[in-house]
Structure 1
Amino acid sequence: MYCGREFCIIDPEGDYENFADAVILGDGDRSPRLTEVLKLLERLDQNLIVNLLGIALGDRPAFFAELLPALQELRSQTGRPHWIVVDEAHHLLPSSWNPALLTLPQNIDGLMLITVHPEQVAPAALSLVDAILTVGNLPEQNIEQFCKVVGYCPPQLTPQTLEPGEVYAWFREDTEPFCFRIARGNTERRRHVRKYAQGELGQDKSFYFRGAEGKLNLRAQNLILFTQIADGVDDETWLYHLHQGDYSRWFREAIKDESLAEEVENIEQTANGSTSESRAAIKTAIEQRYTLPA
């Protein structure tokens, strides 16, 4: 329990395996059951992480469509969980998924939606949002994008450059966004090693070997496929992505491995046009962190 508040995190990609003070239900081999979720949350002072890795990507919105009303019903009876955190909200409430209109209540407190693609979240879900916390490059554009989707007049925005650890915030009832610095947490999220090595990342997080002219469209939805395709792709395509910094960018943004990204970024900058050496160096960097089949 955090500050007297209990939480339930919906975790589509297994990113919260070592989150402190919480029971984890489900993994890559076993999907969670709705009855189990509710039984655990009925206990006082119980935090829960619902891991959806065992559910096929296309079936996760339907599972969430059953789960959210059940959580709301539990709240009406017990007042708990105080916080419902939905990670990768664009997967569970996609803009193309019409049942989202039937799943969502007219208003809901204590709901946090986390996404890197707000434009891909169902407008019915975005319309419930009353506060935005955004990070990264051009954070003001995320607020503009949100307002465009929900049909809300955006506030006066100026270009922002955020330092590491800074957040750009806007409350819809206020007119002025502001920046603040977040305190570093005590718990570091652990990468789901098997997911990134063997699992199936969504289309938006996969790597695509396309080349300079876009003649190819080879999708690598995990690190095993990435290394296999990297071994066979032509030199011109490999070097194109190397010089663009695409490999380190993918490791940083999709694989969420800053250490790997930094090492590969150094390889990209010092490769000097050597195809075989850069392939081998990047493959070695991956194998040192992830278990790949021989």
Structure 2
Amino acid sequence: MLVAADGEHAATIIEVIGELGLDYQIAHNRGALMVLPAGTTKGTGLATVLGGMKLSPHNTVAVGDAENDLSLFGIAEIGAAVADAVASVRRSADLVLDKPDGAGVAELLSGPYLAGVQRWCPPRRWVDIGTFDDATPTRVPGSQGRILVTGPAATGKSYVVGLMAEQWILANYSVLVLDPEGDHVQLQQLNRVQVFDGGHHLPEPVELLTMLQPHSSMVVDMSALSEPSKVDYMYRLRSAAEAHRHQYGYPHWVIYDEAHLLSGGEHAHWARRGGYVLSSFAPASLPAHEIDASDVVLTLTTGDATSGIASRRRASIRIGSEPVREFTIAQRQTAHVRHWHKYVDIGLPHDRRFYFHTSARQAIAPAATMRDFGTAVRHLDQQALEYHLERGDFSRWLDGTIADKDLATQVAAWEDELLANRAADLERIRLHLAQAVEERYLPAQEPD
């Protein structure tokens, strides 16, 4: 139930609500007011309507002029105030229009933003991906951006791409990840993220996109496909995703990992709308107009062991025409394992496998995959396990061969812990032994 009243009756209404013991609230509307059940606002109404229509708040622009419109701004991607809006609404708006009332709304409807000519993401919708050296946050657009991620192999491109995907997913954007190498399957640890595995079955692109919802995301893992099949599927999914976005407004982001796979064939402006990420170690192979159209360029480089920050992931960022700045990349919420499927199921060359120190009574074959490695570690005898832990063999192999620095760091800590505890135990036993010998054979001499 909603009751409208003149603002001069506010004190009386509050008194009546108290006398009746009701859970109601007052929302001001310039000189008038609205009496509503607690928790009910224009914003909650908008959210309910959008949910029923299967539309996303991130595709919504709200226009307001009075205090009770402020809740709309919290739901919609962009909040716009007409020129004659009350001061609190103008302060809270992302955009203040030049004209008042209906003329201001008409200005917005006929302007470049809703026509798709102008792309803009309000600052409050940007997401954090790290920290600059002056301790200020490193941020990228929450929507509408064109982002290029580049750098040599194994420098952390897929890590930072996954980090951005995490932040967008957590902010309820819809994200579609085209994942040729299986680097992003761990995103399924987040709510409302589906993974489709090419090793089992990939639906046709149009069918796949029917399973996407305004608040859901999906990762298309193509690591089990041959390279020609990957390229073919990426091309078809790219076209289907653009058509789906044109009709429904989402996915809000399409991430093309290993984007150089799309370098051949047509050179249409397939990502002209914004809301996409291109990640590649070979950006020169991408269409020049796509590179030039990038709003944000993230560059990953190999770490400098002498810099004092070698243990932290570093990158540089250029936003628009601003200068390039270096920053420290934030920690991920989900685990990141580069080329996950490759190491699980595809055997390594003989010279890169893990060879176990085994005795005549326990012969264990070298580990060609991470599946082999995990099984072998469970069955190693204690002597062999101690041998490898004491030498740091496990962490060295995980870092140098598997390139899983996070797991290698964790295992190295366990190896160090074993050595430290063993050293402490040795010192404890040394002290006990010395004391026992002294007490038994070298009793304290009586004073003269």
How well do the aligned residues superpose, as a CA RMSD in angstroms?
Answer: 3.7
Q: TM-score, normalised by structure 2?
A: 0.38
Residue 133 of structure 1: aligned partner: 298
User: Quick check: 1:37–1:50 contact (8 Å CA) kept in 2?
Assistant: no
CA pair 172-249 structure 1, distance change in 2 beyond 3 A: farther
**Among candidates 101, 104, 127, match of residue 267 of structure 2:** 101
CA distance in 2 between counterparts of 1:5 and 1:260 reads 30
**Inter-partner Cα distance in structure 1 for 2:329 and 2:352:** 36
Moved over 6 A (4+): 248-251, 259-263
Tell me: CA distance 1:193–1:48, structure 2 relative to 1, closer, same or farther (3 Å). Answer: closer
Q: TM-score, normalised by structure 1?
A: 0.56
Structure 2 Cα separation of the partners of residues 15 and 24 of structure 1: 12
- Unmatched segments (≥5 aa) in structure 2: 1-168, 356-365, 367-394, 411-448
1:3 equivalent to 2:171? Answer yes
- Equivalent position amino acid for 1:36 in 2: E
Query: Residue 52 of structure 2 corresponds to which residue in structure 1?
Result: none
Partner SS, residue 196 of structure 1:
helix
User: What is the count of residue pairs matched by the alignment?
Assistant: 200
Shift of 1:124: 4.5
Equivalent runs, 1:1-294 vs 2, <5 Å = 1-19=169-187, 20-21=190-191, 22-41=193-212, 43-90=213-260, 92-94=261-263, 97=264, 99-102=265-268, 104-105=269-270, 107-137=272-302, 163=310, 164-174=312-322, 176-191=323-338, 193-196=340-343, 198-199=345-346, 223-224=348-349, 226-227=351-352, 255-258=402-405
Q: Would you say the 8 A contact 1:89–1:121 is kept in 2?
A: yes
CA distances 1:250-284 after superposition (whole Å, capped 9, x unpaired) = 97588432268789xxxxxxxxxxxxxxxxxxxxx
Distance 1:56 1:33 in 2: 17
CA distance in 1, matches of 2:240, 2:303: 37
Pick the structure with more strand per residue: 2
8 Å CA contact 2:174, 2:250 repeated in 1: yes
Deviation at 1:11, TM superposition (A): 0.7
Please give the per-residue CA displacement for 1:35-84, whole angstroms capped at 9, x wherever unaligned: 3321112x231111111124211222222111112111111111111111
- Other structure's SS at 2:231 match: helix
State the 1:12 CA deviation.
0.7
Match of 1:202 in 2: none
**Which whole-Å deviations, capped at 9, do the CAs of 1:12-53 have from their partners, x for residues lacking one?**
111222212310112423334213321112x23111111112
2:244 is paired with a residue whose SS is helix
Indicate if the aligned counterparts of 1:9 and 1:49 stay in contact, CA closer than 8 A.
Answer: yes
Q: Is the 8 A contact 1:132 1:170 kept in 2?
A: yes
